[in-house]
Structure 1
Amino acid sequence: MDVTEAIETRRSVGRVKQEPVAPEDLERILESAVHAPNHRITEPWRFHVFVGKGRGELARVRAEIARRTAAEDGEDEELAKGRISRERKKAFRSPVVIAVVSVAGRDEVETLENYAACCCAVQNMQLTAHALGLASIWRTGPSAYHPLMREFLGLERDGDTPVAFLYLGSPDLPVTRRRRRPVREFTVWHEG
């Protein structure tokens, strides 16, 4: 598949089969990430790959964040149990979850550029997964930015930032083309 076709046909797919993803495919996906453009070659990305029982570590952190949030919100016990269960299950919605984080730069501008580079890295990963016949979906949400998740992911400095939880697997639903508005609706041409 050429790059234009990959860009135009890739879409987020939230339902995947639980069959394992081949290790060599995971390596290709991760390798594609580090070829994203990054100003000053800062290589700001860090990856945490959760597979098999390793997803349990992520599930425990998500559940604890949900428990703490429910307590802070004053939820009754039954509602809290539901919230905790839903958050725990998110770690198991695909056979592979890759947390992508961006490390802080030397200043505010470099930190912002590092984050943008990591977003490009995630897009590379999604395109590579798509080219390999795999589905992916990019998620974050409030738990991604919770202090406990930051601690779990080893984010120590203020500018260290979660970028994505990338869920990967074989699609478990028909993949359809998505509609996009024409680019002319978003473009202003400045010509001499």
Structure 2
Amino acid sequence: MNARQLILERRSVRAYTDQPIPNEMIEEILEAAIYAPTHKLREPWRFVLANEDGQARYVDQLMNLLAARGQLDQKTDEQRQLMRQKFADVPVYLTVLYEVQGTEDQQMEDLLATAAMIQNIQLLATELGLGCCWKSGKHWFTDGYAELIGATETERVAGVIQLGWPAVIPPLKKRTAARDKLTHF
């Protein structure tokens, strides 16, 4: 598959089979993904992997975090169970952290390098037949989540990548043509 085709075929997959992903495959993806452009070769990223037995502990702790934040207060027991099941149905959670150090410009460069590396993860996963979804915001960017995954005081969460063998691949969603967003100087 060529790069253009790979970019066009990548989707945010949210439904997975229960087939496990071998650790070697995840490591293979990461070993290639880290060749993203990174200013002065700072390589600001670090990964926290929750799969196999760690995935169940991760889901338990994530649900505890949501409860502690009051995000489950207005939910019925059935809604809480559905939420837990939705989290449990994701075979692999890969949290991507980046180091926050240096000047404001350096921190921005490091975040952007990490984002480029995350896109590499998604493209490499797609090439291997995996589905993935880059999650951000909400509970992922909180101090409680940072503590849950063992982030240091100088690390921030860039996103959580959900990985698995796709049960459903969503259809392509139309994009605004690049020429409609292009300004010539």
Same fold (TM over 0.5): yes
Q: Considering only aligned residues, what root-mean-square deviation do their CA atoms show, in Å? A: 2.1
Q: Name the counterpart of 1:169.
A: 164
Structure 1 residues 80 and 39: alpha-carbon distance in aligned structure 2, compared to 1, 3 A threshold: farther
Q: Name the counterpart of 1:64.
A: 64
Kept after mapping to 2: 8 A contact 1:11/1:178: no
2:102 matched to 1:106?
A: yes
- What is the TM-score of this pair, normalised by structure 1? 0.86
1-10 or 159-168, which deviates more = 159-168
Kept after mapping to 2: 8 A contact 1:48/1:98: yes
2:147 matched to 1:128?
A: no
Query: Which 4+ runs in 1 deviate beyond 3 A?
Result: 80-91
What CA distance in whole angstroms lies between the structure 1 residues aligned with 2:79 and 2:59? 13
Cα distance per residue 1:24-77 (max 9 Å; x no partner)? 321221112211111111111110111111012321321122111228x9x36x
What CA distance in whole angstroms lies between the structure 2 residues aligned with 1:81 and 1:23? 34
2:166 counterpart SS class: coil
Kept after mapping to 2: 8 A contact 1:100/1:165: yes
Q: Name the counterpart of 2:4.
A: 4
80-89 or 13-22, which deviates more = 80-89
Deviation, structure 1 residue 90? 4.7
Structure 1 residues 150 and 23: alpha-carbon distance in aligned structure 2, compared to 1, 3 A threshold: closer
Q: Name the counterpart of 1:42.
A: 42
In structure 2, stretches of 5+ residues that fail to align are none
Q: Name the counterpart of 1:147.
A: 143
How many residues of Structure 1 are paired with residues of Structure 2 in the alignment?
185
Percent identity reads: 25
